[in-house]
């Protein structure tokens, strides 16, 4: 038995937990040979891998990052070369076939699983394992890495609260999340943020300023504003740090925290400061919940392969581990809606969402 595994997209806590389960179980139960492709799909495109054994995955259950490396730049269907963009997917399929890969486990988010779905269409036996701190993958309620990242956001907000309270300031905390507000919403809700701004709800800065000013009049001389990096105002404007034209994600978001802090200070007369959490959210040791989730998802992924079922992504639905077709997350993103229980909970206690 020969299988492959890769981790694609951004790193996050819990990736090594999933790798460990796949490798240990298939070797323990089936004496399988497991190929770990390096740096996501780069390893498939450039034929770069290492054979994983028990020693390779020992003591990595709680290690952050990924022992295989990762990248969000490599796509077999769009390979950037000096001669332009080329489709090398057929070469990748032939290479996997030559190696005798009976299943390719793809641990990744929407970009990785979209590529995996396209590979499945070409006949590659694929099983996807969802991971993303953005939690924006369609088909699953939770993905590996999200709970650890949300807990970090909540802890960071609790830490800056004391400074905001001591100095009577507005403290703006900028989170990751791209165009989905899960991370900001869960992190903000778990830390008692006063204002939570998410990309799904265009904000009016006047509404936020009025809310903060009203708190000050009631004697609440500080406010905590959690803002997701991808938010936009009612005018449709987003803050973009820079543009990288040869990237699958050309827009580099960032800077919205500074913009909102400056504007709120001018509008309210209350001193404002900003904390950008950045890559701190993606790094470090996964929480036990993420280690367990990663292991359970990987266990079910192996089950599917052993049952001869591929072209699927494992998922969490209604709290249970299940699976969906790779076509479900293909090219889509999962967004916060006003029907979400956490959103409704926060609105019920008066948290401001800027509208």
Q: Mean pLDDT in each 10-residue stretch from start to end of the chain (355 residues)? A: 97 97 98 98 97 97 97 92 91 97 97 96 98 97 98 97 95 97 98 98 97 96 97 88 72 90 96 96 96 98 98 97 96 95 98 97
Domain 2-144+286-325 maps to which CATH number in 3.40.228.10, 1.10.10.10, 3.40.190.10, 3.40.50.450?
3.40.50.450
Q: Rounded to whole angstroms, what are the CA distances from 327 to 100, 139, 199?
A: 25, 10, 25
pLDDT for 247: 67
Does an H or E element contain 228, and which? strand 223-228
CATH 3.40.50.800 fits 149-282, yes or no: no
Which residue shows structure tokens 């036990």?
288
Three-state DSSP class for residue 255: coil
Which is catalytic among the residues 110, 134, 136, 290? Answer: 134
DSSP class of residue 352 equals B
List b or e across 104-131, with b for residues whose CB sees 16 or more CB atoms inside 10 angstroms: bbbbbbbbbbbbbbbbbeeebbbbbbbb
| Length reported for the chain | 355
Residues of the chain with CATH 3.40.50.460: 149-282
Dihedral, 11, 13, 14, 16 alpha carbons, nearest 10? 60
Does an H or E element contain 178, and which? none
Token output for 352? 């401001």
Q: Is the CB of residue 105 less than 8 Å from the CB of residue 66? A: no
Nearest to 106 by CA among 119, 92, 88, 122: 119
pLDDT for 273: 97
Q: Is the CB of residue 223 less than 8 Å from the CB of residue 195? A: yes
Q: Is the CB of residue 48 less than 8 Å from the CB of residue 39? A: yes
Active site (annotated) includes residue 134: yes
DSSP class of residue 64 equals S
pLDDT for 224: 98
Token output for 64? 């952050």
Token output for 288? 């036990």
Report the half-sphere exposure of 31 (CA within 13 A, side-chain side): 0
Q: Which pTM was predicted? A: 0.93
Measure CA 119 to chain center.
Answer: 22
Q: Rounded to whole angstroms, what are the CA distances from 311 to 126, 308, 328?
A: 5, 10, 11
Between CA 13 and CA 87 the distance in angstroms is 32
């Amino acid at each position: 038995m020969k299988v492959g595994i890769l981790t694609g997209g951004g790193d996050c806590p819990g990736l090594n937990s999933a790798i460990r389960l796949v490798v240990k179980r298939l070797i323990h139960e089936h004496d399988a040979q497991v190929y770990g492709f390096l740096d996501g799909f780069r390893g498939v495109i450039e034929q770069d891998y290492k054979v994983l054994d028990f020693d390779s995955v020992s003591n990595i259950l709680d290690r952050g990052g990924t022992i295989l490396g990762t990248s969000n730049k490599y796509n077999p269907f769009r390979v950037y070369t000096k001669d332009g963009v080329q489709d090398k997917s057929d070469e990748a399929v032939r290479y996997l076939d030559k190696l005798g890969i009976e299943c390719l486990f793809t641990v990744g988010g929407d970009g990785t699983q979209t590529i995996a779905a396209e590979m499945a269409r070409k006949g590659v036996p694929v099983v996807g394992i969802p991971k993303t701190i953005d939690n924006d993958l369609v088909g699953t309620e939770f993905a590996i890495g999200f709970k650890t990242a949300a807990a970090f956001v909540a802890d960071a907000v609790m830490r800056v609260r004391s400074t905001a309270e001591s100095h009577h300031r507005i403290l703006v905390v900028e989170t990751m999340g791209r165009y989905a507000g899960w991370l900001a919403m869960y992190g903000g809700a778990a830390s008692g943020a006063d204002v939570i701004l998410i990309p799904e709800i265009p904000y009016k800065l006047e509404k936020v300023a009025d809310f903060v000013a009203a708190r000050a009049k009631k004697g609440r001389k500080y406010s905590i504003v959690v803002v997701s990096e991808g938010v936009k105002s009612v005018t449709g404007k987003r803050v973009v740090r820079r543009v990288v034209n040869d990237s699958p994600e050309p827009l580099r978001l960032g800077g919205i925290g500074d913009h909102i802090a400056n504007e709120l200070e001018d509008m309210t007369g209350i001193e404002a400061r900003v904390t950008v959490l950045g890559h701190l959210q993606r790094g470090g040791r996964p929480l036990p919940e993420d280690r367990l989730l990663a292991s359970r998802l990987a266990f079910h992924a192996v089950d599917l392969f052993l049952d001869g079922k591929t072209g699927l992504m494992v998922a969490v639905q209604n709290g249970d581990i299940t699976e969906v077709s790779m076509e479900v997350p293909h090219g889509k993103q999962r967004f916060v809606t006003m029907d979400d229980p956490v959103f409704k909970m926060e609105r019920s206690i008066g948290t401001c969402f800027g509208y």
